[in-house]
Chain A
Amino acid sequence: MDWSSWWDTYSTLVLSIGVYGMLALSIYLTLSCGLLSLANAAFMGIGAYMSAIATLQFEWPFAFALFLGTVLPAAVAFLIGIPVLRLSGVYLAMATLGFGEVVRVVLLNLDITGGPLGLNGIPPLTTWWHVVLALALTVALLQALRRSRIGRAFEAIREDETAARLMGIATDRIKLLAFVLGAAIAGLAGGLNAHYTFTLSPGNFGFESAVDILTMAVLGGIQGVAGPLLGGAILTLLPELLRGLQEFRMAANGLILIAVVLFMPQGLWDPARFRRWRRSRGTRAEA
């Protein structure tokens, strides 16, 4: 099979891998400072609707539409983050889940979002290099954060929030930063997604997608940016790879989830495991 027909067939899948990679990274960002937020699907939805309305109804340039789709969810995240981030653990997860449902119902009842019919005929503007560029920027941003005082603060907060505060870290602000940046990345991913799937409806951004995004990050592992990317890619490909199983396709999906949680708690991409391998190989080489 030659390249161009391969690309014709799988281009959307490849774009999805990139976009879901970004979504997994968006939740990785909050997870990396210990926040279990399930609001990212809602932020994706806000970004997707915002940018689709911008191109579809106002015919603004795509770049500007994507910009709006990044900024609006970040602004919403900023507003709800201030009260919500006082919660932690399961309570935060449930509150963000509730927020996501509220967003869904609002999308369902607004006129500008097209209600349950959603938005259709969104122009096909997303091309491969948009996704590559957005993904590269996201990865660069996260890597830059990681190897800086902010990244260390994320990690410190995840491990022991109280100790981190007593080390002079303004934990509230750092957590808000992670939450807002996560929302921005999810929004950008949503904007890209809207312009290669041509249609949006509120159901695309409900509980199920929130769980999907979380699952990608956990499956891949949250020890570095490679994990969520890997998780996003696998969960995007898996339904395609498992087509042969027909009705039981999703059952395999469920089993894989359970197996990873049970047998690979750090996710597939686990630098500590790799380090152990390298070390054992290193000692062998020395001997």
Chain B
Amino acid sequence: MFAQQIVNAISLGSVYALFALGFTLVFGILGVINLSHGGIFMVGAYAALLLLTRFEIPFWAALPLAMLAAGLLGLAIDLLILKQLRKRGAPHLMPMIATIGAAILMTSLSQGLFGSETRRFPLDLFDQESFSWGPVTIPVLQAGITALSVLLMLLMVWVLKRTRIGQALRAVAESPKAASLLGIPVERLFHLTSFVAAALGGAAGILIGLSFDAISPFMGQPMLHKGIAAIILGGLGDVRGAVLGGLFLGAAEVFAVTVLSSEYRDALSFGLLFLVLLWRPQGLFGASATRSA
């Protein structure tokens, strides 16, 4: 059972990690807690569902198209809302409230358009196989999600550490003002970040929709909570930390179920968040810098 629980922890954690990846990226670069990330996550799932069922597009094409849709939505939020607030130098409270508004808007619109029923992707899309290895069972799709979130994390870390765009992004994260003095096109990088983060959020929505029976207009809210916990555990704005934070959160929850009782599982994750903020506001895994990539 213990081995199986470790597998469960990794699979649950990688779901959180995948969501947290884009979420933390926006905070790291834009310095904004984008509370509409849960909404984008939901829209991504619906976009893919629509493409698959209404337009009958094959999955390999629907995935990037839905990610594109989510990304464009993120870009629109940046251009229409966050950019305006940046121009004005609004205090950090303002983007939070505006993105809450955007999340409410998205939830309400998709409820009006798609109804409030929980839906799922056509079951025959992927085989729901799992492979067994001794006492341990691993669903194939879950393994895929885990692999994908680790892959995306490695990709993001590589981009941030090794490429020129990454260098520029890190400069922006450090200080947008200084970066623009260095001739870095800060605004364009903000747009890019918003797009990429939202596309990642959309991908998370699609993948979760694939492995669970979970597509509903309200799917974003609980995930947003977990995402907040994950990125704080990992250190706000830290890409590597977000994934580690997500995995840690998954492990903590599974541990809570296994060793304690499942009733206090949620209290554990938010209690952890609370304690981490008090003792290590930079996160469990980060060094001292909080906004570094």
> Do chains A and B make direct contact within the complex (CB under 8 angstroms)?
yes
Q: Are A87 and B81 in contact (CB under 8 A)?
A: no
Among A95, A101, A208, A262, which residue has its beta carbon within 8 angstroms of that of B98? A262
Which residues on A sit within 8 Å (CB–CB) of B107?
A: 250
Within 8 A of A (CB), among B243-293: 263-264, 266-267, 270-271, 273-274, 277-278, 281
Q: A95-B273, A102-B267, A262-B81 are in contact. Are A254 and B102 (CB under 8 A)?
A: yes
Secondary structure type dominating chain B contacts: helix
195-231 of chain A: CB within 8 A of chain B: 207-208, 211, 214-215, 218
Give Cα A215 to B103, complex, Å: 13
Q: With A95-B274, A97-B228, A250-B108 in contact, do A36 and B84 touch (Cβ < 8 Å)? A: no
Are A91 and B97 interface neighbours, CB within 8 A?
A: no
Contact call B274/A249, Cβ cutoff below 8 A: no
Cβ A87 vs Cβ B281 within 8 A: yes
Stretch at the interface among B42-50, B87-95, B123-131, B197-205: B87-95
Are A258 and B273 touching (Cβ within 8 A)?
no
Cβ-defined contact, B103 with A254, below 8 A: yes
Mark interface residues in A231-246 (1 if CB within 8 Å of B CB, else 0). Answer: 0000000000000000
A106 to B267, CA, bound (A): 7
B108 touches A98 (CB 8 A): no
Contact B225 A218 (CB under 8 A): no
Given contacts A101-B266, A255-B105, whether A83 and B232 have CB atoms under 8 Å apart is no
Q: What per-residue 1/0 map shows which CB atoms of A32-59 lie under 8 Å from chain B?
A: 0000100000000000000000000000
Q: Known: A109-B263, A262-B85. Contact between A93 and B105, CB under 8 A?
A: no
Assess the B85–A211 pair: CB atoms within 8 A: no
CA distance A89 to B27 in the complex (A): 13
A215 touches B97 (CB 8 A): yes
Q: What is the distance, in angstroms, from B56's C-beta to the closest C-beta of chain A? A: 27
Q: Is the CB of A258 within 8 A of B101?
A: yes
Bound complex: CA A90 to CA B98 (Å): 15
List the B side residues contacting A250 at CB < 8 Å: 104-105, 107-108, 111
- What are the residues of chain A within 8 A of B103 when measuring CB–CB? 254
**Shortest beta-carbon distance from B225 to chain A in Å:** 7
List residues of chain B with CB within 8 A of the CB of A61: none
What B residues does A215 contact at CB under 8 A?
97, 100
In the bound assembly, the distance between CA atoms of A86 and B277 in angstroms comes to: 10
* In the complex, residue of chain B having the shortest beta-carbon distance to the beta carbon of A105: B267
- Cβ of B263 and Cβ of A94 under 8 Å apart? no
A261 is an interface residue with CB less than 8 A from chain B: yes
Partner among A90, A102, A253, A254 whose Cβ is within 8 Å of the Cβ of B274: A102
Chain A residue numbers with a CB within 8 Å of B101 are 253-258, 261
A98: chain B residues within 8 A (beta carbon): 229, 232, 270-271, 273-274, 277
The answer to whether A247 and B81 have CB atoms under 8 Å apart is no
Structural contact, A207 and B108, CB atoms closer than 8 A: no
**By the criterion of a CB under 8 Å from any partner CB, how many residues of chain A are at the interface?**
41
Specify which of A31, A87, A90, A249 is in contact with B108 (CB 8 Å cutoff): A249
Cross-chain contact A90 with B266 (CB below 8 angstroms): no
Report whether B270 and A251 are in contact in the complex, using a CB–CB cutoff of 8 Å.
Answer: no
- Kindly state whether residue A265 has any CB partner on chain B within 8 Å: yes
A-contact bits for B114-139, CB 8 A (1 contact / 0 none): 00000000000000000000000000
Contacts of A218 in B (CB 8 A): 93-94, 97
Identity of the chain A residue whose Cβ is nearest the Cβ of B224 in the assembled complex: A207
Chain B: which residue is nearest A34 at the CB level?
B91
**B5 interfacial by beta-carbon distance below 8 Å:** no
A83 touches B111 (CB 8 A): no
| Other-chain contact of B105, A31, A247, A258, A262 (Cβ < 8 Å) | A258
The reply to whether A105 and B105 contact each other, CB–CB distance below 8 Å, is no
Taken together as a complex, chains A and B put the C-alpha atoms of A86 and B140 apart, in Å, by 46
Q: Which of B27, B81, B94, B221 contacts A265 (CB 8 A)?
A: B94
Tell me whether B109 is interfacial, beta carbon within 8 Å.
yes
**Is there an interface contact between A94 and B232, defined as CB atoms closer than 8 Å?**
yes
With A36-B93, A84-B278, A218-B93 as contacts: A257 and B104 at CB distance below 8 Å? yes
Do residues A254 and B266 form an inter-chain contact, with CB atoms below 8 A?
A: no
On whether the beta carbons of B97 and A95 are closer than 8 Å, the reply is no
B266, A95: Cβ atoms under 8 Å?
no
State how many angstroms separate the Cβ of A79 from the closest Cβ of chain B. Answer: 13
A258 and B81 contact, CB distance less than 8 A: yes
Tell me, in angstroms, the Cα distance from A261 to B105 when the chains sit together.
14
CB distance from A23 to the nearest CB of B (A): 16
Interface readout for B22-38 with A: 1 if CB under 8 Å, 0 if not? 00000100000100000
Chain A residues in 8 Å Cβ range of B90: 261, 265
B52 on the interface (CB 8 Å rule)?
no
Question: Which residues of the partner chain A approach B267 to less than 8 Å between Cβ atoms?
Answer: 101-102, 105-106, 109
Q: List the A residue with the shortest CB-CB distance to B107.
A: A250
CB distance from B37 to the nearest CB of A (A): 14
How distant is the Cα of A108 from the Cα of B264 in the complex, in angstroms? 9
**Which residues on A are within 8 Å of B, measured CB to CB?**
31, 36, 83-84, 86-87, 89-91, 93-95, 97-99, 101-102, 105-106, 108-109, 207-208, 211, 214-215, 218, 247-251, 253-258, 261-262, 265
A-B contact pairs, 26 of them (CB 8 A): A83-B278, A86-B278, A87-B278, A93-B33, A94-B33, A95-B277, A97-B228, A99-B274, A101-B266, A101-B267, A105-B270, A109-B264, A211-B100, A249-B108, A250-B108, A251-B109, A253-B101, A254-B103, A255-B101, A256-B101, A257-B98, A258-B81, A258-B101, A261-B81, A261-B94, A262-B84
